[in-house]
């Protein structure tokens, strides 16, 4: 599988990354290990996880995904062959991450997070340590199609980016992480981290992980240019719009065992006019002779500004289909058809 440079680093990652947020909830440890084995065998060298996982976040399961991955790497003895990425939570009122108190992007919380992640992952370092979401009070994803409230509210105890960055400098120098990555971040946020890093405060971010799919292309407007000009690797998550771009929910269908049926927390992709847009893209996929899931993944994987497409699966069939998107020849005709649909539909699900 093609490998692409991650930002300005000497790390090359597969153009498809295996996301693992289902490990420990929808997938057992054995199933997670099967997925990891299969993906690595197909040329994937990039694995993404988080202290938050599995999804949905719960105190009784938090950290389980990292433990499964740690057990797998130990059993296979392959840590040196893996580009390992995990994440620290941003500002959250959930108290189970820090033993009974809310969490922010301050020194004590970041140090607590990385030490626990390293223990669960059974490794002495993480290649890419990402801020899962900002400390600032911003809409989820930080990249909406419109601003609901302006000026935006600010927390009285907002943690300055420079303060957070200084902690990352500390854990880089300690050898606990190799590089800093951002996630669910805005153009302003990315540039602020870069500006502080260039002042010598801490490490320069090498990557940005944001949602990207047919019904949420907002990152193309500003973030793609930021990442291109500043040499920040763009990692795309949710290529299937939480499963909606597989076609399984079309016309109100609710398959047994699906994430919607189990957890009913897919509201990001249930906004006004989302259903008709999603169905239109799924129909377009079939016009090109592809399963909707394959088509949606191939779109993300083949966009020139995307470094790696973070896929996820709950079955081996789903995983094989997602990995097959690396072999799809994305044509100008396909891109033109998608762009024409987007001109009509816009971004209903940022």
Asked if the structure places residue 29 within a domain, the reply is yes
User: What is the tens place of the pLDDT at every residue in 213-225?
Assistant: 999 999 999 999 9
Look at the chain and report how many structural domains it folds into: 1
Give yes or no: 53 in active site. yes
Q: Has residue 153 got a pLDDT over 90?
A: no
**Phi and psi torsions of 30, nearest 5°:** -60, -45
Classify residue 275 as exposed, middle or buried by CB count within 10 Å of its CB (0-12, 13-18, 19+).
Answer: middle
User: What is the tens place of the pLDDT at every residue in 259-318?
Assistant: 999 999 999 999 999 999 999 999 999 999 999 999 999 999 999 999 999 999 999 999
The DSSP secondary-structure symbol of 181 reads: E
Q: pLDDT over 70 for what percent of the chain?
A: 100
Contact between 188 and 114 (Cβ < 8 Å): no
Q: Has residue 147 got a pLDDT over 90?
A: no
Query: Domain with 161 in it: what CATH number?
Result: 3.20.20.100
Contact between 145 and 277 (Cβ < 8 Å): no
Asked if the structure places residue 161 within a domain, the reply is yes
| Structure-token match 């299969």, residue found | 38
Whole-number Cα distances in Å, 203 to 188, 212, 282, 288, 349: 17, 26, 41, 44, 32
Asked if the structure places residue 230 within a domain, the reply is yes
At 146, the pLDDT band (50, 70, 90 cuts) reads confident
Asked if the structure places residue 61 within a domain, the reply is yes
Q: Has residue 148 got a pLDDT over 80?
A: no
pLDDT at residue 145 in the model: 86
pLDDT at residue 181 in the model: 98
Q: How would DSSP label each residue in 64-133?
A: HHHHHHHHHHHHHT-GGG-EEEEEE--SB---TTTTSS-B-SSHHHHHHHHHHHHHHHTSS-EEEEEE-S
Q: Has residue 94 got a pLDDT over 90?
A: yes
pLDDT at residue 344 in the model: 97
More confident residue, 184 or 221: 184
How far is it, in rounded angstroms, from Cα 241 to Cα 122? 32
Whole-number Cα distances in Å, 109 to 66, 67, 159, 298, 321: 18, 20, 12, 38, 38
Which of 53, 212, 244, 269 is an active site residue?
A: 53
Q: Which residues make beta-bridge pairs with 177?
A: 126
Question: Mean pLDDT score of the chain, rounded to an integer?
Answer: 97
pLDDT at residue 84 in the model: 99
User: What is the tens place of the pLDDT at every residue in 226-235?
Assistant: 999 999 999 9
Asked if the structure places residue 350 within a domain, the reply is no
User: What is the tens place of the pLDDT at every residue in 3-41?
Assistant: 999 999 999 999 999 999 999 999 999 999 999 999 999
How far is it, in rounded angstroms, from Cα 6 to Cα 257? 36
pLDDT at residue 152 in the model: 81
Across 248-269, average pLDDT: 94
Contact between 172 and 126 (Cβ < 8 Å): no
316: containing domain: 3-345
Both structure tokens of 342: 């987007």
* Gyration radius of the chain over CA positions: 19
Whole-number Cα distances in Å, 142 to 1, 158, 165, 197, 210: 31, 16, 19, 21, 9
Q: pLDDT over 90 for what percent of the chain?
A: 96
How far is it, in rounded angstroms, from Cα 164 to Cα 278? 38
Contact between 121 and 83 (Cβ < 8 Å): no
- The alpha-helical segments, DSSP class H, found in the chain are 29-41, 64-76, 107-121, 161-173, 187-198, 223-230, 259-263, 274-287, 292-301, 316-324, 332-345
More confident residue, 182 or 150: 182
Asked if the structure places residue 23 within a domain, the reply is yes
Contact between 164 and 134 (Cβ < 8 Å): no
Contact between 62 and 52 (Cβ < 8 Å): yes
User: What is the tens place of the pLDDT at every residue in 51-79?
Assistant: 999 999 999 999 999 999 999 999 999 99
């Amino acid at each position: 599988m093609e490998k692409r440079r991650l930002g300005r680093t000497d790390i090359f990652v597969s153009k498809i990354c295996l996301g693992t947020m289902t490990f420990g909830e929808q997938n057992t440890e054995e199933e997670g290990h099967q997925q990891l084995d299969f993906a690595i065998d197909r040329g994937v060298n990039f694995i993404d996880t988080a202290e938050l996982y599995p999804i949905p976040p719960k105190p009784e399961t938090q950290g389980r995904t990292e433990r499964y991955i740690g057990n797998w790497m130990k059993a296979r003895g392959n840590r040196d062959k893996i580009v390992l990425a995990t994440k620290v939570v941003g500002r959250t009122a959930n108290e189970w991450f820090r033993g009974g108190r809310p969490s922010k992007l301050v020194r004590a919380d970041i140090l607590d997070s990385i030490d626990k992640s390293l223990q669960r992952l059974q490794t002495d370092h993480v290649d890419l340590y990402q801020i899962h979401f900002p400390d600032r009070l911003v809409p989820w994803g930080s990249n909406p199609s419109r601003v609901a409230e302006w000026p935006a509210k600010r927390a009285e105890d907002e943690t300055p980016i420079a303060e957070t960055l200084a902690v990352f400098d500390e854990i880089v120098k300690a050898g606990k992480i190799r590089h800093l990555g951002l996630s669910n971040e805005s153009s302003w946020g990315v540039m602020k981290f870069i500006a502080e890093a260039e002042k010598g405060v801490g490490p320069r971010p090498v990557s940005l992980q944001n949602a990207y799919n047919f019904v949420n292309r907002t990152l193309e407007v500003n973030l793609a240019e930021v990442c291109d000009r500043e040499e920040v690797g763009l990692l795309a998550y949710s290529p299937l719009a939480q499963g909606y771009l597989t076609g399984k929910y079309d016309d109100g269908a609710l398959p047994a065992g699906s994430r919607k049926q189990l957890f009913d927390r897919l509201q990001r992709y249930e906004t006004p006019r989302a259903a008709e847009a999603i169905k239109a893209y799924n129909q377009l996929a079939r016009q090109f002779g592809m399963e909707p899931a394959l088509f949606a993944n191939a779109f993300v994987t083949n966009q020139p500004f995307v470094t790696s497409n973070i896929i996820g699966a709950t079955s081996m069939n789903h995983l094989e289909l997602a990995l097959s998107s690396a072999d799809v020849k994305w044509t100008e005709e396909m891109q033109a058809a998608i762009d024409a649909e987007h001109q009509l539909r816009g971004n209903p699900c940022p």
